[in-house]
């Protein structure tokens, strides 16, 4: 597997405090296991990445291994942000040993993408097609892009540039950017385009942008990054509202043709999902978008069985994600390797702040 690596020694007298904070965050917020080696190194060893932390008298060492440069940058950003919560000075003075983009340059995973088209794919869903020169090189880097636009409409964009500490410096004040994750539904390598499907709603900047964008407009994008394949299982339960529908489509593309299970997605009754989802052995259940949030927990119970369902995935609204995570773990007895229940948006709040 192609890998991207970076190491740092975070210069801080609070290495043990920082280590404790990372361990708690990784366990409680990400539900991952942290192994402790004989020499005290704390390791998170997942299929897709590895992080090793070591508290030393001169600071906290961090050793990252990820599948690609784009994911590596997202990890570095998360680490620097968490260090800043405890020790801002140390966060500013972090230096990584890899040769990522230098200070002042655009981040390596950043592109300005041009809009080619935007239209209603089906009721409630806007498709935006973007030109992405060189996408062939990044087609397997991950499923999602972080789109970004000036939060003040009509303002000339000021894009993030790399700081000395290996992470982007985001513009502030009038130049602040509104950034949100959106999944790449389709990639056309020959045409060098990507298709995004964005839920049409009245409350969000990115959704409004998608609905009103014109051919030739530009948008900033970081990525792609994020899981593209599900682990092998005997019986899957995959569910998502409109925000996770493109992601479910990407997962189904990669599943073994003999895979079995159930898929529950939000889509209008009149829309034929065989036009959207790849051919699959899994049973597809369509729920009207307006009913999805109220029905998904009950459907999960009907379509799964403890001891039989051995992989579960959900993406959608925060309350649904909370409820389903509990169900996957407590009733289906699934663990961090066999279930994901992800908040993709939160009612009444910007972003996916879970």
Ligand X SMILES: Cc1cc2nc3c(=O)[nH]c(=O)nc-3n(C[C@H](O)[C@H](O)[C@H](O)COP(=O)(O)OP(=O)(O)OC[C@H]3O[C@@H](n4cnc5c(N)ncnc54)[C@H](O)[C@@H]3O)c2cc1C
| Contact status: 351 vs ligand X (CB under 6 A) | yes
Q: How many residues bind ligand X (CB under 6 A)?
A: 28
Radius of gyration of the chain (CA): 21
Give whichever of 44 and 340 is closer to ligand X, judged by the CB atom.
340
Of the candidate residues 87, 141, 197, 310, the single one contacting ligand X (CB under 6 A)? 197
Of the candidate residues 139, 204, 260, 273, the single one contacting ligand X (CB under 6 A)? 204
Q: Where are the beta strands (DSSP E) in the chain?
A: 4-11, 35-36, 42-45, 50-56, 59-66, 110-122, 125-131, 144-150, 161-162, 168-169, 177-188, 193-199, 218-225, 235-240, 260-266, 283-287, 311-317, 339-345
Of the candidate residues 19, 79, 100, 182, the single one contacting ligand X (CB under 6 A)? 182
Binding range to ligand X, per CB under 6 A, among 8-16, 70-78, 91-99, 194-202: 194-202
Residue corresponding to tokens 């130049």: 175
Tell which residue, 248, 268, 115, 101, has the closest CA to residue 183: 248
| Contact status: 49 vs ligand X (CB under 6 A) | no
The two beta strands, 177-188 and 260-266, are: unpaired
| Contact status: 141 vs ligand X (CB under 6 A) | no
- CB-closest chain residue to ligand X: 204
| Contact status: 203 vs ligand X (CB under 6 A) | yes
Of the candidate residues 201, 286, 295, 329, the single one contacting ligand X (CB under 6 A)? 201
| Contact status: 206 vs ligand X (CB under 6 A) | yes
Cis peptide before 31, with omega less than 30 degrees from 0?
A: no
CB of 143 to ligand X, least distance (A): 7
Conformation bin of residue 303: beta by default, left when phi > 0, alpha when psi is -120 to 50: alpha
* Phi, psi (rounded to 5 degrees) for 119: -155, 165
| Contact status: 152 vs ligand X (CB under 6 A) | no
For binding to ligand X (CB under 6 A), which residues are involved? 144, 178, 180-183, 197-199, 201, 203-207, 226, 242-243, 246, 344-352
């Amino acid at each position: 597997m192609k890998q991207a690596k970076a190491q740092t020694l975070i210069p801080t007298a609070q290495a043990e405090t920082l280590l404790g904070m990372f361990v708690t965050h990784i366990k409680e917020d990400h539900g991952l296991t942290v192994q402790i080696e004989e020499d005290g190194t704390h390791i998170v060893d997942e299929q897709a990445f590895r992080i090793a932390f070591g508290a030393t008298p001169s600071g906290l060492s961090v050793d990252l291994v990820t599948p690609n440069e784009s994911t590596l940058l997202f990890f570095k950003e998360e680490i620097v942000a968490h260090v800043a919560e405890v020790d801002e000075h140390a966060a500013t003075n972090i230096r990584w040993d890899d040769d990522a983009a230098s200070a002042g340059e655009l981040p390596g995973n950043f592109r300005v993408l041009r809009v080619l088209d935007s239209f209603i794919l089906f009721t409630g869903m806007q498709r935006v097609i973007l030109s992405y020169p060189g996408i062939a090189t990044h087609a397997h880097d991950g499923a999602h892009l972080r789109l970004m636009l000036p939060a003040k409409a009509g303002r000339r964009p000021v894009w993030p540039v790399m700081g000395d500490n290996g992470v982007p410096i985001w513009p502030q004040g009038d130049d602040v950017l509104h950034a949100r994750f959106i999944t790449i539904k389709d990639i056309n390598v020959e045409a060098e385009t990507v298709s995004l499907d964005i839920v049409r709603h009245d409350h969000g900047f990115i959704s409004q942008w998608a609905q009103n964008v014109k051919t030739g407009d530009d948008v900033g994008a970081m990525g792609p990054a994020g899981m593209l394949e599900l682990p092998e299982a005997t019986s899957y339960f995959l569910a998502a509202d409109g925000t996770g529908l493109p992601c479910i489509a990407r997962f189904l593309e990669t599943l073994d043709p003999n895979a079995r299970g159930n898929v529950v997605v939000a889509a209008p009754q009149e829309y034929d999902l065989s036009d959207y989802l790849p051919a699959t052995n899994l049973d597809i259940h369509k729920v009207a978008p307006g009913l999805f949030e109220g029905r998904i927990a009950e459907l999960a119970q009907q379509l799964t069985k403890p001891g039989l369902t051995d992989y579960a995935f959900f993406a959608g609204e925060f309350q649904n994600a909370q409820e389903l995570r509990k169900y996957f773990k407590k009733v289906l007895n699934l663990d961090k390797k066999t279930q994901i229940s992800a908040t993709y948006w939160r009612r009444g709040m910007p972003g996916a702040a879970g």
